[in-house]
């Protein structure tokens, strides 16, 4: 199937009334999630994941995807108006966006953010449509050694790009790999690490892990912060939504640069919206003739990161759909959703389930169009929602998530498991350990084990198979270079400066 036929099929699937309805629901929920600080898209997708199991696979994935890129739109609203980022990828937008609000240009900042996001989302959609078939054909040449090394490379890259200490990131990956070992050995049929619980014979359930680590833990952290400062935010008056010609002229090249930065960084393991927005802001500051003015209301400081986080959020789907490998924690949740629906993510999705593949891509463009239309008129409503005290909001969300967990398998064991991982996630936050590498390792671990064993069976136990295959060798060299680079002083300083900023 050529690209144009694929896009036509995708639009046919995405324009189905049911899919349009759930795309709109996902976008609205995602925008709300982006607006409300403390409840990111990762936690929300984890909480709502069980509720999509009764839907058709493509409808469920369209809904979850809408939540993800909708949150990128919503996060900019409170960042600009209140200097209160609702989503991590909108932190840098708050620097110049809120300064524009104080200068009386808050409405223009919101319009620039929305238009830049729509442009970036459109470009990212067509980028995925153009390059996904090429990648899928190339990946069909991969064997077990190449798949194992690709996943190993992904985990190492997530360590390099993880916030904070490298040792903590490695510890999270090791813990995730250990959790992934629980259950029945696929080759021998022996039970391992089940601790006598028959519920663990098929492995640790995915949904309780992610709802606990992200949903419950984030709620506990947010409630703790809210208890310390329960004052409602001061809401400034919104000015005209139309940017001036000078502002539009400044925003255009920044939007284009931010879009292409997001296209590239969204493909990297551990990348996605957060890394893209930071790098786009840094690039604009370095290219500017007046970098000292950044933070005082520069239009480029709004347009570039908003374009980058939206294009990065969408191209993060490309490694998942073509390689079957999640590039960040949210994509790991998507893998879990696919597996529950009996879908094996990877290059054969395009040929075996073209309606799902192209329908998901087409829905992204429709979702971006919806977000452009609904976001600006609803700005006042979103901001008023911030007046709801977290002490009332989050317990309600917690009850809904627990009901959703119980509804998956109708067992209280999953509820207890969710509580355990919720406490674990809370303490990981206290210890400044990022849970995203843990989830990546938890999802990739069983697949890595399977491909490693296949490689050893083919090579009769000879580890040289990873060197004898050229593609595997190239990825092994990249792993070694990445690990070696972590010991270079300038790399360490760059990471410290980047995450501190």
Give 149-177 pLDDT, tens digit per residue: 988 888 887 777 666 677 888 899 999 99
Contacts for 35 with CB less than 8 Å, ≥ 6 apart: 74, 75, 77, 78, 86, 382, 383, 385, 386
Give yes or no for residue 385 having a pLDDT over 70: no
**Distance from CA of residue 55 to its chain's centroid?**
22
- What sign does the dihedral 353-357-362-368 (CA atoms) show? positive
User: Span 437-462, mean pLDDT?
Assistant: 89
SS3 state of residue 235: coil
Residue 457 burial (CB count, 10 A): 11
- Angle at which helices 144-161 and 166-181 cross, to 10°: 140
User: What are 319's two structure tokens?
Assistant: 């490694």
216-252 tens-digit pLDDT: 887 888 778 766 665 555 555 565 677 888 999 999 9
pLDDT at 92: 83
Q: What is the pTM of this model?
A: 0.77
CA distance to 79, 249, 325, per residue, from 182 (Å): 42, 56, 21
CA dihedral 453, 456, 460, 461 (to 10 degrees): -110
C-alpha triplet 478, 484, 485: angle, nearest 5°: 90
CA distance 389 to 223: 10
Q: What is the DSSP letter of 324?
A: S
**Tokens, residue 24:** 């709109």
191 backbone dihedrals φ, ψ, rounded to 5°: -85, 140
Q: HSE-up of 416 (CA within 13 Å, CB side)?
A: 6
User: What one-character DSSP code corresponds to residue 241?
Assistant: S
């Amino acid at each position: 199937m050529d690209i144009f036929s694929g896009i036509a099929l995708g639009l046919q699937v995405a324009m189905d009334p049911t899919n349009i309805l759930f795309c709109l629901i996902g976008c609205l929920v995602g925008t709300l999630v982006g607006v409300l600080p403390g409840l990111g898209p990762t936690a929300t997708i984890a909480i709502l994941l069980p509720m999509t199991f009764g839907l058709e696979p493509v409808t469920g994935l369209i809904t979850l995807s809408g939540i993800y890129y909708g949150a990128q739109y919503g996060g900019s609203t409170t960042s600009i108006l209140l200097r209160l980022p609702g989503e991590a990828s909108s932190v840098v937008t708050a620097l110049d966006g809120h300064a524009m609000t104080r200068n009386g240009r808050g409405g223009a900042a919101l319009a620039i953010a929305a238009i830049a996001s729509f442009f970036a989302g459109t470009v990212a959609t067509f980028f995925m449509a153009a390059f996904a078939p090429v990648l899928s054909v190339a990946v069909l040449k991969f064997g077990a050694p190449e798949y194992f090394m690709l996943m190993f490379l992904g985990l190492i890259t997530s360590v390099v790009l993880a916030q904070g200490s490298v040792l903590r990131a490695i510890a999270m990956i090791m813990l995730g790999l250990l959790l992934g070992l629980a259950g029945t050995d696929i080759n021998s049929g022996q039970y391992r690490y089940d601790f006598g619980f028959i519920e663990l014979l098929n492995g640790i359930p995915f949904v309780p892990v992610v709802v606990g680590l992200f949903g419950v833990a984030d709620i506990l952290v947010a409630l703790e912060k809210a208890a310390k400062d329960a004052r409602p935010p001061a809401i400034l008056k919104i000015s005209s939504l139309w940017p001036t010609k000078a502002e539009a002229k400044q925003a255009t090249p920044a939007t284009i640069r931010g879009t292409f930065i997001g296209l590239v960084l969204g493909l990297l393991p551990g990348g996605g919206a957060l890394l893209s927005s930071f790098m786009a802001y840094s690039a604009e500051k370095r290219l500017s003739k007046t970098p000292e003015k950044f933070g005082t209301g520069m239009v480029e400081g709004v347009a570039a990161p908003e374009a980058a986080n939206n294009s990065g959020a969408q191209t993060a789907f490309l490694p998942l759909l073509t390689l079957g490998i999640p590039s960040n924690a949210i994509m790991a949740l998507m893998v879990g959703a696919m597996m529950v629906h009996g879908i094996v993510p990877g290059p054969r999705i395009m040929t075996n389930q073209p309606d799902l593949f192209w329908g998901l891509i087409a829905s992204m463009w429709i979702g971006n169009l919806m977000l452009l239309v609904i976001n600006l008129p609803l700005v006042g409503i979103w901001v008023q929602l911030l007046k709801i005290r977290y002490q009332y909001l989050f317990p309600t969300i917690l009850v809904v998530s627990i009901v959703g967990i119980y509804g998956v398998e109708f067992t209280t064991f999953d509820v207890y498991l969710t509580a355990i991982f919720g406490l674990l996630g809370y303490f990981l936050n206290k210890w400044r350990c990022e849970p995203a590498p843990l989830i990546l390792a938890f999802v990739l671990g069983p697949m890595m084990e399977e491909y490693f064993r296949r490689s050893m069976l083919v090579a009769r136990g000879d580890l040289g198979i990873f060197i004898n295959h050229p593609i595997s060798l190239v990825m092994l060299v990249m792993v070694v270079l990445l690990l070696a680079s972590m010991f270079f002083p300038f790399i360490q300083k760059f990471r410290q400066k980047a995450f501190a900023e």
